[in-house]
Amino acid sequence: MADLGVMALLLGLALSAYSVIGSAIGVKIGMPALIVSARRALYMTTLAAAVASAALINAFVQNDFSIKYVADHSNSVMERAFVWVAFYSGNEGSLLYIVLALSIMSALAIRFAPKRMAPSMPWTIAVLAAVQLFYFFVLSFFASPFELLETIPVDGRGINPLLTHPGMFSHPPMLMGGLIAITIPFAFASGALISGNYGDDWVDVARVSAILSWGVLGAGLLLGAWWAYTILGWGGYWAWDPIENVALMPWLVLTAFIHSIMVQKRRGMFRMWNVALLNIAFVLAQLGMFINRGGPVVSVHSFASSTLGVIFLSFMLLSLVFAFGLFLWRMPQLKSERAMESFMSREASFLVNNFLLLSVMAVTLWGVVFPLFSDLARDVSVSVSAPYFNRANGPILLGIVLMMGVGPLLPWRKSSARSLKKWFIWPVAIGVLTIVVLVAFGVKRPVAIFSFGVVAFVATSIMQEWWRGTAARHRGGENWALAWWRLVNGNRPRHGGYIVHLSILMLGLGIIGTNFYQQRTDGALALGESLVIDNYRIEYVDNGNSNRPDRIAQWADLSIYRIDTADYATEISFARAQGSDGFTLKDSTPRPNDRLIGQIQPWHGFYPDFNMASVRSGIRSTIVEDLYVIPRDFLSDGRVSLAVSINPLAWWLWASGPFFILGTMVALWPQPAVERRPARSKVRTMAVGEV
Amino acid sequence: MAIALGTLLALIAVVVVAYPFLGSKRYRLAPERFVNREKLRAERLRVYRKISDLEADHSSGDLTGSDFQSQRDQLRVTAAKLLREESGPNGPTNDRDEQLEKEISRMRERSARSSGSRDQS
């Protein structure tokens, strides 16, 4: 099967090269048959990538350890379900996955592109094929997943234990797929510019493909945070790790794009800006590939041993020169139809939102590249850690959330003082009321309280928008439910956006709660002992272990009790005097108001082949807070070392995911037709380039 | 076996890619007229969408009455121009005028409905 895989990759390489050259020459010399042939070559790259992928998956299923990649990333005891994860768990396999995803997306985008884009389509195909060409080239000559071993091992090394988690079935493919999907809107914009199609024809297809890419990337980031929360065993979900950051940056730029493209659609403004945003997003996606593949920074996610750095760096620089060279060449033709009339308008709020999003991107980019520059320029190794990102990005992110509430309240073009007062009064009142109530109830941390106020302001502004629209329809005779449904249905991009905004607010609640109000304690417990934190008592009741060829696992059975803190007043005051959030108890005899509320079984594994430990945290989750227990170690004297935290509002982080996906789908769903299609012309219209 | 499958794959690719040169079908570039008409049609649909969005904004109070009227009138004129361009100078004049009339009366109806529902309130 290795031979088949190699042949498929070489075929993909040849087809992509042909597609690039054929498209360009076909347009230049006006040879339609060559253009059609080049397009077909692009379709066929999908088949080549699919066959290569099938050959690799088959090798995993057959335990074909003659292939180095299979021997390095699986073994005979690996659960078969993880074959899919093993496929992209290494550098070479993940590159193959990327080219498979890109070829499928390219074929679909080209097949369903509007016919009016026929003149620019050959250039779009050339750009798509050029990106594929690069990946097929790397796979064929520098990172082949089909490299054979001279001596075939009896068994493989096994899959990286950190990847044996349900989140791994979707997090890496979504993240990689989302990053590479940015190529699609970029190719449509580039194709339009090269062909001199300066109008808004590319806008619709770029908007849809950008939202798709943004949605997939966003869901991938969220799944990654969930994976980190449940498996990495450090109690958090976002560490501003370089690899997380390089996925976040294009997402931020795409967020800016999908807002500002609405201004171009609605008001014919921001043309230059939108092309620049797509260029930045595409180049950042390539930077992500470079950081991830080139191994210039150390990360839990990166393929740090890779030697592909120079190749990916070259491609990123080439992308940068191409994208912005093209932009500068066509800039004079990208003038907006009109200028902004007022800064108190929706388009101005989108501009501010774009500025803030790009500020977060710039701060993050600096944090990612600064260690590289320091290493190169001064030969000093430095690392930029979470406090820098939190301090610099925190206030800007709060500003972005605030703008999510301000934007929808401002009308297009301009607004009057009267309308501003009318639309802002309730959201501002509810925001201020929230702050007053929190202060009155003795909630501490002024920044967090202000942030809750902002969340309340934005939530009220969204609800007010829905209320206003629904009420207007209800006055026209529709019942409330139907009126709301038709309101959302009538402008899906807008109302899908509101649902996404709600999901961001939920995410915001989780971030505020876990960052400002987390409590932590730790301790080593013998059987029968307890650890108390806030109003929880955690009793160590039993343990167990299992030995498998690939891992040694131990677990602790813990009972969770809800306690009345008055029953433990003496111990609590003593612990507080020591500056601790919790304490251990030798005697676990239940006190009068202790109530058993659940049991958890945190788990600790050691993988000798990888010399790596992996944990599964025990989590008891409610909408108010998570009780989060990390089994740090099972000590030789029989005790278990636990790190325990209470993470307020953490549940909302994960609850935001379904709303994010729902909102994205609503925004993507095609709008209802605004007219009946006229009878089609008798001229038979076929796909791009042929009639 | 693998080599045979690989060869078959390469053959399929060559046939599919070479077919435009070998088949009896003649290809020609999409005529400018056809592309332009498609572009005009897309532009016209975008204008209709803008009118529809304006109506939604007006009914939910996002736009003042005067702003709504002036923007809608501008868009209607643009839509009518686009429709005329779409039909082209050689298009059957009667059909073109008829379609234009239909479009305008449809817009009027829609506008009257939305005004009516506001008036009822």
3-state helix, strand, coil in chain B (%, to 5): 85, 0, 15
Q: Which of A497, A489, A500 is nearest to A219 (CA)?
A: A500
B46 contacts in chain A (CB < 8 Å): 200, 265
A677 has a pLDDT exceeding 50: no
* Average pLDDT for B51-61: 76
In a domain, residue B12? The reply is no
At A504 the pLDDT is 97
In a domain, residue B66? The reply is yes
Mean pLDDT, chain A, whole residue set:
89
Interface A-B, measured as beta-carbon pairs within 8 A, has a size of 156
Question: Locate tokens 């991938």: which residue?
Answer: A220
Which residue has better confidence, A688 or A36?
A: A36
Q: Is A7 on the interface with B (CB under 8 A)?
A: yes
Task: Copy the structure tokens of residue A510.
Answer: 């989780």
Q: Say whether A44 and B13 touch across the interface (CB within 8 A).
A: yes
Residue range A603-640, pLDDT digits in tens: 888 888 788 888 889 999 999 999 999 998 899 898 99
Which residue has better confidence, A671 or A576?
A: A576
Residue type, B29: L
Going by pLDDT thresholds of 50, 70 and 90, the confidence category of residue B98 is low
For residue A542, what are the β-bridge partners?
A557
Residue type, B19: Y
B89 has a pLDDT exceeding 80: no
Going by pLDDT thresholds of 50, 70 and 90, the confidence category of residue A672 is low
B7 contacts in chain A (CB < 8 Å): 7
Domain of B105, in residue numbers: 30-120
What 3-state class would DSSP assign to A318? helix
3-class DSSP string for A647-662 = EECCHHHHHHHHHHHH
At B97 the pLDDT is 60
* Average pLDDT for B77-101: 71
For residue A643, what are the β-bridge partners?
A522, A630
Going by pLDDT thresholds of 50, 70 and 90, the confidence category of residue B120 is very low
Contact map slice: A 354-413 vs B, CB within 8 A: 411-413
Distance of CA A386 to the CA centre of its chain: 18
Mutate to test the interface with A, among B9, B72, B76, B118 (most CBs of A within 10 A): B9
Residue range A233-259, pLDDT digits in tens: 667 888 898 888 999 999 999 999 999
Tell me the nearest-neighbour CA distance from B46 into chain A, angstroms: 8
At A620 the pLDDT is 95
A294 has a pLDDT exceeding 60: yes
Strand pairing class (A582-585; A530-533): antiparallel
Distance of CA A377 to the CA centre of its chain: 32
Going by pLDDT thresholds of 50, 70 and 90, the confidence category of residue B118 is very low
In a domain, residue B24? The reply is no
Q: Is B61 on the interface with A (CB under 8 A)?
A: yes
* Average pLDDT for A114-122: 85
Range of weakest confidence among A331-345, A554-568, B99-113: B99-113
Phi first, then psi, for residue A557 (nearest 5°) are -95, 120
Task: Copy the structure tokens of residue A575.
Answer: 């612990």
Phi-psi region of A568 (alpha: psi -120 to 50; beta: other; left: phi over 0): alpha
Rounded Cα gap, residues A682 and A339, in angstroms:
42
- DSSP-derived secondary structure letter, A670: P
ipTM: 0.78
At B95 the pLDDT is 59
At A691 the pLDDT is 31
Range of weakest confidence among A85-89, A303-307, A331-335, A439-443: A303-307
Residue type, A157: R
Tell me the nearest-neighbour CA distance from A491 into chain B, angstroms: 7
A384 has a pLDDT exceeding 70: yes
Most confident stretch, A8-22, A141-155, A321-335: A8-22
At A424 the pLDDT is 93
Rounded Cα gap, residues A533 and A645, in angstroms:
8
Q: Which of A405, A416, A412 is nearest to B58 (CA)?
A: A412
Sheet holding A519-525, edge to edge: A519-525, A640-648, A625-634, A618-621
Q: Is A671 exposed, middle or buried (0-12, 13-18, 19+ CB in 10 A)?
A: middle
B117 has a pLDDT exceeding 60: no
Q: Which of A429, A416, A419 is nearest to A461 (CA)?
A: A429
A685 has a pLDDT exceeding 50: no
- The share of chain B scoring above pLDDT 70, in percent, equals 69
Q: Say whether B62 and A473 touch across the interface (CB within 8 A).
A: no
Strand pairing class (A519-525; A625-634): unpaired
Q: Which of A77, A260, A59 is nearest to A155 (CA)?
A: A77
Q: How many domains does chain B have?
A: 1
Rounded Cα gap, residues A336 and A200, in angstroms:
11
In a domain, residue B48? The reply is yes
Range of weakest confidence among A68-82, A553-567, B14-28: B14-28
What 3-state class would DSSP assign to A524? strand
Q: Is A335 on the interface with B (CB under 8 A)?
A: no
3-class DSSP string for A573-636 = HHHHHCCCCEEEECCCCCCCCCEEEEEECCEEEEECCCCEEEEECEEEECCCEEEEEEEEEECC
Beta carbons of A109 and A204 less than 8 angstroms apart: no
Q: Which of A347, A355, A464 is nearest to A414 (CA)?
A: A347
Q: Is A690 on the interface with B (CB under 8 A)?
A: yes
Tell me the nearest-neighbour CA distance from A132 into chain B, angstroms: 16
Phi-psi region of A74 (alpha: psi -120 to 50; beta: other; left: phi over 0): beta
* Average pLDDT for A44-57: 96
In a domain, residue B58? The reply is yes
A260 has a pLDDT exceeding 90: yes
Chain B residue nearest residue A416, CA to CA: B64
Range of weakest confidence among A233-242, A553-562, A670-679, B38-47: A670-679
Chain B residue nearest residue A420, CA to CA: B62
Going by pLDDT thresholds of 50, 70 and 90, the confidence category of residue B108 is low
Q: Is B59 on the interface with A (CB under 8 A)?
A: yes
Phi first, then psi, for residue A274 (nearest 5°) are -65, -40
At A640 the pLDDT is 93
In a domain, residue B11? The reply is no
In a domain, residue B68? The reply is yes
Residue range B7-29, pLDDT digits in tens: 999 999 999 999 998 877 777 77
- The share of chain A scoring above pLDDT 90, in percent, equals 62
Q: DSSP labels for A21-43?
A: HHHHHHHHHT-HHHHHHHHHHHH
B99 contacts in chain A (CB < 8 Å): 678
